[in-house]
Structure formats: C-alpha cells, structure tokens
A and B are shown apart, each in its own frame.
Chain A
Amino acid sequence: MKSKATATSSTLIVISIIATSLTWAAPRSTSDTTQMRDVAKHDELSLKLRMAQQSDPVKNLGPAIGNLEVDPAIPQFKRSFLDSSTILCYRGVITFVPKRAVLHVPEHLESRIGVTGDIEIKNWPDFYLANRGWIRTIEVTREQAMGDVPFSEATLEAISTSSSLIVATFKNGPIAVRPPPPEPDEDEDEDEDSEDLANNNTETENR
C-alpha cells in the first residue's frame, strides 16, 4: 500500500515535470520578451542586508522579557532521539524504545541490545509483532511509570526471573519507568536524632 502510494506520487511528479518541460520547450519567437533579471550579486545583496538589519521585525515587537542570558533553544537543539533510546536489534531489524523502558534483559539476550551490521528500522508495533518469541511487555499504569506507585513484589519477581526481555508499555507504547523514590532510611533518622541529642548534651555540658 505504501509503495503503491509512493509510486503514484512519483508518477505524478514525472507527469508534472514532462508537462512543465513541454510548456517551456515550446517554440518561441526571438522577439518575445519576458520578465528576466540579471542574477543578484554580492554587492547588491550586501546593501539589501544592511537595510534589512536596520529594521529587524523581531526587535520591533518589543524587548524580550524573562531570562535573556540563557538561550532556551540550545537544549532543544541538542536533543537526540538516538541517545535517549535503547535499541533492540534482531536479524538486522531494529527498533527504538525509551531508555528505562527495558526492565529486564536476560544474559542470553544481551547481544540484542544495540546495532550490529546493516539494519532496517521498524516502529515498535511491527517489531514487537515479529519478535514476541523473546520480548514480553508489561502494561504499566501512569502512576507506576512516574514512579509514584512501585511494582508489587510478585511482579518484580516475575520480571527478574523472566527468560524474555521485558519492556514496559502504556497503551501498547513503550514507556520509560522512573524508579520509585527511595524510602526514608530509619537508621539515618536515628543517627540524626542521636547527633542532635549529642549536640544538646554538649550544649548542656558547656552551660
């Protein structure tokens, strides 16, 4: 279906080109004239630029407000899909899932992470359909993905002992899973309390 559509587009383009060529190639009298100009040169364009720079419409909008020291576009420009993805690869076919969407990689499947040799890219649904033999998905809730609700012990056990590669999904799309926030360490609290107590004792002694 896709190649048929592409072929149709190509055909239209070819027809369009031929039609245009026929129009242009039609015989013309040498006395005909048309709107034509000499190609623009550097000097002419330098003058144009100087005039244009004197009235940049962006500056005319009014002074920018907010943080003017930092260009907010730089982090956007530096975004990399490849760097923020984990690549799953099997028999020359790869797909991308967000980093932290892969919850478990058994040792015998570690070689299927990353790119090797010539490749073809598939989107996730197509790749998963062809590789269900070694990939399992776990549908997670929004809260689990945000790390607000931890997985149950049984789920964690099933993930860690699986012989398949486990990918977290939300509505069938791979999703990164944030680790739940660390639980407060009771020992540390006790230590702090002890320290405070010790400080108080010291203060008492000083008095």
Chain B
Amino acid sequence: MIAVWDQLPQAVANGLLLAALYAIVALGLTLIFGVLDVVNFGHGQLVTLGAYLVYALVSGSFSFWIAVPVVMVALGLGGLLMERFTFRPVRSIPINGLLVSIGWIAIIGNVISAVWGPDQYNMTRVLPGSLSFAGLSLSRSQLLVLGVSIVVMVVLSLVLRFTSGGKALRATAQNREAAALVGIRTRRLDAIAFGVGAALAALAGGLVANLFPLDPSVGDSYMVYAFVALIVGGAGSAAGAVVGSIIVGLAVSLAQTFGSTGVASVAPFVVLIIVLFFRPAGLFRTDHEATL
C-alpha cells in the first residue's frame, strides 16, 4: 500500500504528460468537428505524417525548432486543400464526410509507406535528459510537450474568445445557418478550421518524433485516445477536449502503473461508457450544439 502511495504522484504526472499530447490531437479533432460536423478519422495519419516530415527535415540538418513550424504550415495548407477538394463537395451528406476521412487514412498511410517504408526511425532528441523535483522524474522532452500544449490551449482559447475570427468560428460551430445569416463566411471558416486542425496534428507529430521511435502506425494510438477524450469532454468543445484528455491520460497512466495490461487497455473505454451514461453529450456539452 505504501508503494502505491509512493508511486501515485509520479503516475499522475505521467498521466498529465500523456494528456498534454492527447489534448493537442483532440483540440485539432474538436475544431474540425465543431465547425464541419465531421470526425476526421484521418487525423491520426496527419499526426504520423507530421512526425515523419519533422524527422525528415531534422535529418536533413534543419533545426527541430524550425522544422516543426515549417511542417505545421505545410500540413495546415494541406488541410485547407483537403477540406476544399474532398470534404466540401460532400458536406450535404455527413456520412460521406466520414467515408472521405477514412479514405484519407488509406491515402496518407500508403504515401508514408511508399516514401519511408515500414522501417523504424529514431530522431536525435532535442532537450535530452530529465528533471527531478519533489520526488518526480520528468523528461525534458515530455515537459516540452506539456509546455507546448499549455501554450496551444491558451492561444486557442484567446483566439476563440477575443478575436473576430474566433468568434465567427464559435458562432458557426453553434449555429451554422444563423452565422451565415449574419454574414459570416462559413465555407471559409470550414477551410480555416480544417487547416488549423491539420497544423495541430503536425505539431503533435513533431513532438511525438522527439519522444518515441517512428513507424507508420505511430499516430494511431493518439488518434484513438484523443477521439475517446473528444467524446468524454463533449465533441466540439475545446474545453471538453482538454478535460477529456486529462481524464483519459490519467486513466491510462494509473491503469498501466497499478493494473494489469488488460485493465490498462480497457480503462479509457470504461471511463467513456461511464461518462456517456450520465452525460450522453459529453462533460462539456449540454445539448447537441458544439461549443467551441
């Protein structure tokens, strides 16, 4: 029992660090869902692509600090084009948007396999080593993820609340028709939301590349857990995505530390079922409207 209490702070810290990465992925997902009403299942592949592109640039002597923004811009522009040419034409039938997103899983996955093959790659870490305080050991690379995640949350929150573009995004997420009636150019916002979501996926990918070995499935687990976080928090809610990520991150970490492998595998989904039982729209949604 003493060992459990000794390990608990570290397990919680691990969970929060895990949550930081899930949150960046979930924020991108929720931004796209909130505005376009489509769950982009290809988001995990964008994370993987972002990771490989950052790896490629860093291997080509680019600084990690330059590579990440460059890849964010590139995938952000790619996201704009994805929305414009593949999601927008099928917007009137939501199920088709879902199918298009599944199609992107195959397309991006095959591009990654064709270019990099199935081999595993290890990027030289920026910020190697760890920090110890209050009995906790935290790697500098993971702390970087936490810091970046907090910055992303704050910036996104400020943009959504205090800029005209952010207010327009929120208005579109809440009521698309009403937003259009007051002159908001909702189609343009669709593309922007998708582009920002893709850029966030690229950011998550870059951070993953600095943490773990890369292979073509590296983004898959982040997609799954970020999706669970999205639903737990309430799809379309930025605050919900963050809180959902923290819950899922803690569930995974605590179950892996104190439970069996089987418990760890199902813990996030048990949390999901419990939350949906009491709050069918997720923790941060009271109705069926998105609340960016």
Interaction A to B: no
Which chain B residues have a beta carbon within 8 Å of chain A's beta carbons?
A: none
Which chain A residues have a beta carbon within 8 Å of chain B's beta carbons?
A: none
